[in-house]
Amino acid sequence: MEWVKKILQVSGAPFQKKGPLEKLYPLYEAIDTFVLTPGKVTRKAPHVRDSVDLKRMMVFVIIALIPATLMGIYNTGYQMLLAQRLAPDLWTCVSLGAGKVLPIIAVSYAVGGFWEVLFAVVRKHEINEGLLVTGLLFPLVLPPTIPLWMVAVGISFGVVMGKEVFGGTGFNVFNPALLARACVFFAYPSQMSGAKVWVAVDGYTHATPLGVVSQAAHGVDPVQALATAGYTFQNLFWGLRPGSIGETSTFACLLGLAFLLITRVANWKIVVSCVAGVFTMATIFALFNGPDQPAYFALPVYWHYVLGGFAFGAVFMATDPVSAPATRLGAWIYGFMIGVITVIVRVANPAYPEGVMLSILFMNVFASSIDYGVMMSHISSRNKRNKALSSSRTK
Amino acid sequence: MSDPAAQKTPAVKEVLFGRANQKIFKDGLWDNNPITYQVMGICSALAVTTSVKTALVMSLGLIFVQGFSEAIIAALRNHIPARIRIIVMMSVVSAFVITLDLVLKAYFYSIWKQLTVFIGLIITNTLVVARLEGFAMHNPPWKSFLDGIGNAMGYGLALTAVSSLREVLGSGTLLGFHVLPRYFYDHGYSNNGLMLLSPGAFFVLGLLIWGHRTIAKYVEGK
């Protein structure tokens, strides 16, 4: 490792103070700390004793995203071949899918990276690995047919308006990747929703499972409707269905979740409470089911978990440590409400077949208020306890 | 709020377009711009900026209403009882708004039909009352008139900037004419629907405020 150190030291010289490339120091710093752990030590408390700093944490999230990305690439190709009635063999699927998905990821990283570096240089802060996560999360929640320039618009919006205007990584109110998706979703609805955009074959129309359920006629059994459209539970669980690139496979999301939980990057309380929230709200809707209600009411609860982007959202978006509450009770409330609102939007609002994105963004707004409320209640309960203690002592 | 130069008792006789008066007028355009600096009148800035045409008519209307109502309130300022001053201001402003509405209805009927709702909204524009209360109540009529049209024009500038961006990006037109070439659309470009929604106006307005304050080196609370 000594030679790596040497290379970095030599090549770093022009970036130091008063060097010719002083302005680009953040770029050098990013590469330096990415390759090796810096020798700098914090002067004041708290002294971090763990090797897991922000950079390693972000890298863990990227590792956790690998199954979903690979599955997304495979599935994109698989759906294309299926649409053209060709035999889906593994390598054709992967190469076709990679041809669609990799450019989207590349554009997302390039444009997002441009903004990140620009702000780092102007504001003289460090370049953050948060971008690597945002730049991968965003393509995974887009349909594979998205025009590349829209990817550029979306990621610019996400990085600048979602993160940098608040002061950079760690200060953002919203999840930047999700905000980028919301921007594209509302700006270019015809490229982001409907039945035409989910399979990368021109002119091919195929409703997603969410579309099938939300458009099923009143009184129709939604599971029957799904089966008629060719969707089985296994199908949806493994992820062989049209949808956003990375969200289709619940299985891949579960693999990612396992890794995030083992490394303790994600907060398990949020994921569990998301699941509980969906269960509660879907059960309540099922209780009010009648012949006049939309078919969505009759959908069994467990189907909600494999439909749309729920698994992906709950595992990778809701657990974003910056935009989620930090208190324990707060995490429970936050996740539960995400689950509840997701189901409400799906079932009760015919305009939006999917509600995960909106519900997570909505709860992002309340994350800090939830934390505040939880802390205030802790403070007041402790004050009460102290008062009781001191009064019992004086007796 | 009131300008310190204007409060000084003038040693020499003031010229009608003297330096102090020029400053009052110019302040509203840039240094003390109602939208980007005072953050006043934001509601209407969101409501009327989906197209340049509505924004322009709104701004012209405001220039008329703001200028004359400030002059009149300034003329009456020593006779208005403090307790009912808001009511007096409102009646003066409403009088001008109704006049404007009727003039448009008589001479520009098609425009009036489109904009009558927005014209009525001028009464609720926070900018109007803010300038009446902050400037016209302490300054003579001519200065107040200049302040009124200066601020209203600054408001108009900001509105024009926001609405141009929103109309070009949101509908691909400017003042109703197609400005983006057919070529773009043939090659996969499409209009940004977010720009036509009110959140789009918030984003554009936020960026405008950011830009103005960066250039003017203004930081709030310092």
**pLDDT > 80? residue B81:** yes
Q: What value does the mean pLDDT take over residues A77-82?
A: 90
List the structure tokens of A236.
Answer: 């949806």
List the structure tokens of A199.
Answer: 């399979």
Instruction: Look at residues B151, B174, B161 and name the one whose alpha carbon lies nearest to residue B207.
Output: B161
For residue B153, the distance in angstroms to the closest alpha carbon of chain A comes to 29
Q: Do A187 and B193 touch (CB under 8 A)?
A: yes
pLDDT at position A335 is 95
pLDDT at position A52 is 67
pLDDT at position A185 is 92
Q: Is B196 on the interface with A (CB under 8 A)?
A: no
For residue A236, the Cα-to-chain-centroid distance in whole angstroms is 19
More confident residue, A200 or B73: B73
Outline where DSSP puts E strands in A22-144: none
- Residue B78: exposure state from Cβ atoms within 10 A (0-12, 13-18, ≥19): exposed
Q: Is B189 on the interface with A (CB under 8 A)?
A: yes
pLDDT at position A122 is 86
Mean pLDDT score of chain B, rounded to an integer? 85
Highest mean pLDDT among A10-24, B70-84, B117-131: B70-84
**Alpha helices by DSSP H, A239-355:** 250-262, 268-287, 301-306, 310-312, 328-348
**Chain A residue closest to B193 (CA)?**
A187
The DSSP 8-state label assigned to residue A317 in this structure reads I
**pLDDT > 60? residue B199:** yes
Q: Do B192 and A188 touch (CB under 8 A)?
A: yes
**Rounded CA Rg of chain A:** 23
**pLDDT > 70? residue B43:** yes
Domain boundaries, chain A: 8-35, 54-204, 207-241+266-371
> What ipTM does the predicted assembly reach?
0.80
Find residue B174's DSSP bridge partners. Answer: B177
pTM of the model: 0.84
* Orientation of helix A130-140 relative to helix A54-83, angle to 10°: 20
Q: How far apart are CA B66 and CA A107, in angstroms?
A: 49
B13, B199 contact by CB (below 8 A):
no
For chain B, the three-class secondary structure string (H helix, E strand, C coil) is CCCHHHHCCCCCCCCCCCHHHHHHHHHHHCCCCCCCCCCCCHHHHHHCCCCHHHHHHHHHHHHHHHHHHHHHHHHHCCCCCHHHHHHHHHHHHHHHHHHHHHHHHHHCHHHHHHHHHHHHHHHHCHHHHHHHHHHHCCCCHHHHHHHHHHHHHHHHHHHHHHHHHHHHHHHCEECCEECCCHHHHHCCCCCCHHHHCHHHHHHHHHHHHHHHHHHHCCCCCC
| Cα torsion A53, A59, A62, A67: sign | negative
Q: Do B194 and A191 touch (CB under 8 A)?
A: no
Q: What is the pLDDT of residues A202-259, one digit of tens each?
A: 778 877 888 888 887 777 788 888 888 888 888 889 988 888 998 889 999 999 999 9
More confident residue, B18 or B146: B146
Distances (CA, A) of B37 to B33, B95, B208, B214: 5, 28, 10, 11
**pLDDT > 60? residue B64:** yes
Mean pLDDT score of chain A, rounded to an integer? 87
A145, A198 contact by CB (below 8 A):
yes
> Which of A116-130, A196-210, B4-18, B126-140 bottoms out in mean pLDDT, i.e. has the lowest?
B4-18
Q: Do B188 and A186 touch (CB under 8 A)?
A: no
What's the residue count for chain B? 222
Q: What value does the mean pLDDT take over residues A376-390?
A: 92
For residue A165, the chain B residues in CB contact (below 8 A) are 206, 210
Q: Is B206 on the interface with A (CB under 8 A)?
A: yes
Q: What value does the mean pLDDT take over residues B18-35?
A: 82
Residue among A188, A196, A358 with most chain B CBs within 10 A, to mutate:
A188
pLDDT at position B119 is 85
Q: Do B206 and A165 touch (CB under 8 A)?
A: yes
What's the residue count for chain A? 395
Residue among A151, A179, A186 with most chain B CBs within 10 A, to mutate:
A186
Confidence of residue A377 (pLDDT cuts 50, 70, 90): very high
pLDDT at position A86 is 84
* Angle subtended at Cα B47 by Cα B45 and Cα B52, rounded to the nearest 5 degrees: 70
Q: How far apart are CA B89 and CA B112, in angstroms?
A: 25
- Whether the upstream peptide bond of residue A209 has omega within 30° of 0, thus cis, is no
Q: What value does the mean pLDDT take over residues B107-116?
A: 84
A357, A309 contact by CB (below 8 A):
yes
**Pairs of CB atoms within 8 A across A/B:** 22
- Point out the residue among A161, A165, A188 whose CB comes nearest to the CB of B193: A188
pLDDT at position B1 is 45
Q: Do A149 and B192 touch (CB under 8 A)?
A: no
A250, A237 contact by CB (below 8 A):
yes
What percent of chain B is predicted at pLDDT more than 90?
36
Q: How far apart are CA B135 and CA B144, in angstroms?
A: 7
List the structure tokens of A99.
Answer: 């041809």
